[in-house]
């Protein structure tokens, strides 16, 4: 029997969305808004290069690791770059919220992870709180939300969410995975005091 698997629509490029938001919001102060990814393995080389394709990691030359081993792909493209980006910093700020998933239900405002302080300023905020804040401060809604992506991950592993589905249902659809791993240490969810 011939099996035909429907191809999922891929999420639009997060880089294009990020760049558009940066132009639209025009920050008043310049901060350290660096992008971190597998291409930035050698920061000096990445800054000199105009072609990210030339910096493609040797561990995934075909760019298909996500389809064979999503955990290894997240480790390569998210976990390792974040570790490098945080190496010279004592902490970082996340946008995680308790309502997003069961694994985040008891999220604290401050956490300590691998010796670094992690601040979750939105942890106790509700979806209504977020909407009201965005309206009061005239913040633009992420354009992918209106296109059916209420929870946004990387393009190959994020699919549109149908009406009535959990907002994170489009993340690693049909796989036994619901977090990329940047909030885990040694495969375990880390909480303050545990």
pLDDT tens figures, 47-94: 433 334 434 456 888 889 999 999 899 989 888 888 899 999 999 999
* pLDDT confidence band for 7 (50 / 70 / 90): very low
43 within a domain of the structure (yes/no): no
Q: DSSP letter string over 136-194?
A: HTTPPPPHHHHTT-SS---GGGB----TTS-TTTTBTTTSS----STTEETTEE--TT-
109 within a domain of the structure (yes/no): yes
6 within a domain of the structure (yes/no): no
193 within a domain of the structure (yes/no): yes
For the chain, what's the residue count?
A: 194
In angstroms, rounded to a whole number, what is the distance separating the alpha carbons of residues 104 and 189?
Answer: 9
Q: DSSP letter string over 38-77?
A: GGGGSHHHHHH-S-GGGG--TT-TTS-HHHH-HHHHHIII
Domain that holds residue 83: 65-143+179-194
Q: Which pTM does this prediction carry?
A: 0.68
161 within a domain of the structure (yes/no): no
pLDDT tens figures, 90-128: 999 999 999 988 888 999 999 988 888 999 999 999 999
108 within a domain of the structure (yes/no): yes
Cβ distance 43 to 59 under 8 Å?
Answer: no
Q: Of the candidates 139, 88, 131, 92, which has an alpha carbon nearest to the alpha carbon of residue 111?
A: 92
Q: Which of 73, 154, 157, 180 is catalytic?
A: 180
73 is a catalytic site residue: no
154 within a domain of the structure (yes/no): no
Write phi, then psi, for 19 (nearest 5 degrees): -65, -40
The tally of domains found in the chain comes to 1
Quote the pLDDT of residue 102: 84
Query: Residue 86 is part of a domain; what is its CATH number?
Result: 3.40.50.620
76 within a domain of the structure (yes/no): yes
């Amino acid at each position: 029997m011939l099996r035909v698997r429907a191809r999922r629509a891929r999420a639009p490029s997060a880089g294009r969305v990020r760049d558009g938001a940066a132009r639209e919001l025009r920050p008043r102060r310049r901060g350290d808004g660096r992008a971190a990814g597998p291409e930035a393995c050698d920061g000096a080389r990445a800054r000199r290069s105009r072609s990210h394709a030339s910096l493609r990691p040797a561990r995934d030359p075909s760019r298909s690791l996500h389809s064979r081993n999503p955990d290894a792909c997240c480790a390569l493209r998210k976990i390792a770059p974040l570790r490098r980006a945080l190496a010279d910093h004592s902490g970082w700020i996340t946008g995680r919220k308790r309502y997003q998933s069961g694994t985040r239900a008891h999220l604290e405002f401050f956490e300590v992870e691998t010796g670094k302080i992690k601040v979750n300023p939105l942890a106790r905020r509700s979806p209504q709180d977020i909407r009201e804040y965005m309206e009061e401060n005239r913040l633009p809604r992420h354009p992918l939300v209106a296109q059916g992506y209420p929870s946004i991950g990387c393009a190959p592993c994020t699919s549109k969410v149908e009406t009535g589905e959990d907002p994170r249902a489009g993340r690693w659809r049909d796989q036994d995975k619901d977090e990329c791993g940047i909030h885990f240490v040694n495969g375990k969810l880390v909480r303050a005091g545990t």
